[in-house]
Amino acid sequence: MSDLKGKTLLNRYHVRQMIGRGGMAEVYEVWDQQRSASLAMKVLNEDLAIDRVFMRRFKREAQTLAKLQHPHIVRFYGLHAEGPLTFMLLDFIDGRNLKRVIYDAGGPLPADQIRTIVFPVLGALSFAHDQGMVHCDVKPGNIMITNQDNVLLADFGIARMSDAATVTLVGAGTPAYMAPEQIKGHDPLPQTDIYALGIVLYEMVTGGERPFTGESAATTGSTREKLVWEQLNLPPPSPRQFNTSLSPELEAVILRCLEKDPAMRYANALELRNALEHALGQSQPGPVDTPLPLPGEPLPPAHPDPSPPGLVKPKLSQPVMFVALGLIAVFVALIAFGGQPTAPGTSVPPASATPQAASARAVLPSATPRPVTKTMAAPAPASEKTAAPVSLSKNGKIAFVSERDGNFEIYVMDHDGSNQTRLTTNSYSDSHPSWSPDGRHIVYYSRKNGNFDIFVMDADGGNKRQLTTDTANDKYPSWSPDGKLIAFQSERSGNSDIYLISPTGKNLTRITVNSGTDEFPEWSPSSNQIVFQSTMHGNEELYIYDLNTASTTRVTQNSAYDGAPSWSPDSRKIAFHSNRSGNWEIYIMDVNGKNVTRLTDYPYDDWSPAWSPDGKQIVFYSYQGGNLEIVTINSNGTSMTQLTDNNAIDSFPDWGP
């Protein structure tokens, strides 16, 4: 492949320099002339680009990867092609990886540094595992620390999708970090990533030593073959033989991560995080060149402040981590330049049996200065069995998802952000709430039984009941405005399709049948049409299914990702999110796909819009508050207001009646 320096691809991406080359691709820094920002461009090697099996799997996986929007996962912008070139676009990370950090430290990392690096990684893994994604290649080279001390997980999903591609990719994953079940070719589990992170922890506490090197193998062959033999047959040596000051508690945590049997490891990232919190204790940072913020302390912004001169900025009530990041990356060579050797992160607060109720309401940066307002609510207790009563106001309640208590749970709040109340309290993830038309119930999906199923509860969090029980995943429910049906996405057919079910769990009906991934169904106000996102024609676009004619109409058609649609109460408009401008923004269009209008226009990302009952406002979640927060905006694009303010992920809002 000839050097692309100086060329401009798609009349938009100007290639500045090559910054790395690997077995899969060449990596370049490019200048996005539309966004005025540097990106990383990874150009796939020709043998992969022309491999139809690999490309088909990669395109399908890319649709999922693009949805893994998390502050500690490197953002993936999409897969593009021009002529013979096929390339991915990702955030350009100016910093270094954990492998370099360990090398530069020259010895074991202190407890505070381990905490501030590993906890964000655990948050990223927990989020991905809840979406059904396993990383499969967690290692120091894929843990990035930016020059602003933000911790990011890269290379998401590549190992998992590459195992059936070309011979170059056989044995996907890195042998020194591969769990026994991964080596044997079994389906990866969340515990597969726990095992790999255990080896990363082993290196952090020993100054770069690994438990398996191939030097003790009772077999001959290549280094890879020796490593594989050790992973399958030998117990890990005690890390204390390399670091005699290592506490027995931390050693025990690491060795449990490295159990051969996945069932003997920590069940999930949250369980490992809690064990690490106990083992690491509350030690304070040692002397460093630059003061290190501990989890929860404010960090410098990852991007220049885009606000115009004179704008009154909101004063947020809690410290937040300002990161505009997201996903995948196979560009390890990209991050070996510059940076600091330490990486503060953000810890997840431990789960609490009592919901916390507090809110911060602040007008966010916009094209013109606006006054800042802010209110704080008094605590509103709730529990799993009996939650605080929810009184419906004329402006409606907003249901949303938050991990502020250490797990993804369903919350509700008033339309102005006050009276934030947790409705679910458990050790598994609950997500994507949707109101019944009378405001008395909420449908959502939950991982209560290991896979995702559809559940319904009363608006006060009581009387929870399960609607679906299939062994496949059922997600993204939406209640019809006439109250008769719930639409949802299911994988029970072996593909991702849209189904209907009654609120009592009866009359299950499949309504879409195609080879694509159909998701995020949303009803028309008349309850006779459903708009949804699908990859049935290769790219993620919006479609409308008509229940009267059983026909499907394509609404959008472009090279970007369009998704998470929401129908306006007057039936005339559809709001959706799209990355057609480079960032994820909120758009509005006519129901026929015409008159597309960009509602938000900021350097940061916005997702998952939902209309207010009167159609005058739209609620969505956004990075604009410095973290993923719930935000409202007038449907004409004015007066953006932040409703939540905490150092956690708030997402998937739905505005009730």
**Number of residues that this document lists for the chain:** 657
Report which residue type is found at 280. Answer: L
Mean per-residue pLDDT, 551-572: 94
CA angle 607, 490, 457 (to 5 degrees): 75
Residue 527 token pair: 């309850």
Residue 611 token pair: 């209309």
Residues with a catalytic annotation lie at 137
Q: Which of 121, 97, 77, 145 is nearest to 333 (CA)?
A: 97
CA diameter of the chain:
74
Q: How confident is the model at residue 558 (pLDDT cuts 50, 70, 90)?
A: confident
As a whole number of angstroms, the distance between CA 324 and CA 75 comes to: 8
Question: How high is the pLDDT of residue 64?
Answer: 66
Question: How high is the pLDDT of residue 155?
Answer: 79
Q: How confident is the model at residue 581 (pLDDT cuts 50, 70, 90)?
A: confident
Q: Which domains does the chain have, with CATH numbers?
A: 95-335 (1.10.510.10), 369-655 (2.120.10.30)
Q: Which of 401, 362, 405 is nearest to 381 (CA)?
A: 405
Span between the terminal Cα atoms of the chain, in Å: 58
As a whole number of angstroms, the distance between CA 200 and CA 205 comes to: 9
More confident residue, 36 or 383: 36
The per-residue pLDDT for range 597-648, each reduced to its tens digit, is: 999 987 678 999 999 999 999 999 998 656 789 999 999 999 899 999 887 8
pLDDT at 83 over 80: yes
* Minimum mean pLDDT range among 164-168, 273-277, 522-526, 626-630: 164-168
Question: What average pLDDT is seen over the chain?
Answer: 79
More confident residue, 299 or 504: 504
More confident residue, 325 or 387: 387
- CA trace torsion 508, 513, 518, 523 (10° rounding): -50
pLDDT at 387 over 90: no
Q: Which of 137, 166, 142, 162 is nearest to 152 (CA)?
A: 142
How many distinct helices (H) and strands (E) make up the chain? 10, 34
Question: How high is the pLDDT of residue 327?
Answer: 33
The per-residue pLDDT for range 45-70, each reduced to its tens digit, is: 877 777 777 777 667 666 666 777 78
The answer to whether 649 and 403 are in contact (CB under 8 A) is: yes
As a whole number of angstroms, the distance between CA 477 and CA 459 comes to: 16
Within 13 Å of residue 413, how many CA atoms lie on the same side as its CB?
33
Q: Which of 257, 281, 255, 351 is nearest to 112 (CA)?
A: 281
Question: How high is the pLDDT of residue 69?
Answer: 76
As a whole number of angstroms, the distance between CA 579 and CA 193 comes to: 29
Mean per-residue pLDDT, 532-547: 92
Question: How high is the pLDDT of residue 323?
Answer: 30
Contacts of 2 (CB under 8 A, 6+ apart): none
Contacts of 636 (CB under 8 A, 6+ apart): none
Mean per-residue pLDDT, 64-77: 78
551-554: strand order across its sheet: 518-523, 529-534, 541-546, 551-554
Question: Beta-strand (E) ranges in 387-517?
Answer: 397-402, 409-414, 421-422, 430-435, 441-446, 453-458, 465-466, 474-479, 486-490, 497-501, 509-510
Question: How high is the pLDDT of residue 61?
Answer: 64
Question: How high is the pLDDT of residue 1?
Answer: 62
Pairing of strands 85-91, 573-578: unpaired
Mean per-residue pLDDT, 4-13: 92
Within 13 Å of residue 606, how many CA atoms lie on the same side as its CB?
28
More confident residue, 319 or 116: 116
Mean per-residue pLDDT, 478-504: 95
More confident residue, 341 or 18: 18
Mean per-residue pLDDT, 575-591: 91
Task: Give 365-369 contacts, CB < 8 A, sequence gap 24+.
Answer: 365/306, 365/307, 365/308, 365/311, 365/313, 365/602, 365/624, 365/640, 366/311, 366/638, 366/639, 366/640, 367/308, 367/601, 368/308, 369/308, 369/310, 369/311, 369/312
> How far apart, in Å, are the Cα atoms of 578 and each of 211, 471, 494, 530, 630?
45, 31, 27, 19, 18
Count of C-beta atoms within a 10 Å radius of residue 19: 18
Question: How high is the pLDDT of residue 428?
Answer: 82
pLDDT at 398 over 70: yes
